[in-house]
Amino acid sequence: FLIGTIINIVSIRSIVGTLWFSISLGATVIVFISHLLWKKAKITSISLVVIVLITYSVYIEFSTSPITVLYMFPVVTIISFYLTGRAKGLAFSFAGFVITILYLTLQKRIFGVNYHDPGALTNFILGSSFSIALIFLYEFSLVSANKKQILTNRALEELAITDSLTGLNNRKWIDNEFSLRLEKAKKGQGFSIFIIDFDDFKKINDEYGHVAGDQALKAFSKLAKTIQHVKVGRWGGEEFIFFCESASFEEAVICAEKLKQIVSENDFFPLHKITISIGVASYLDGDTMVSLMNRADKGLYKAKEQGKNTISFVDLKDADIKKK
Identify the active-site residue in 238, 250, 257, 305: 238
Radius of gyration, CA atoms only, the chain: 35
Q: Which of 56, 38, 35 shows the shortest CA–CA distance to 47?
A: 35
Map residue 267 onto helix, strand or coil. Answer: coil
Q: Which residues contact 301 (CB under 8 A, 6 or more apart)?
A: 279
Residue 238 among the catalytic residues: yes
Helices (H), 112-229: 118-160, 171-185, 201-208, 210-224
C-alpha 121/C-alpha 51 separation (Å) is 26
The two beta strands, 276-282 and 311-315, are parallel
Quick one: CA dihedral 125, 128, 130, 132, positive or negative? negative
Which residues are CB-neighbours of 124 under 8 A, at least 6 positions away?
70, 73, 100, 104, 116
The residues that are catalytic are 238
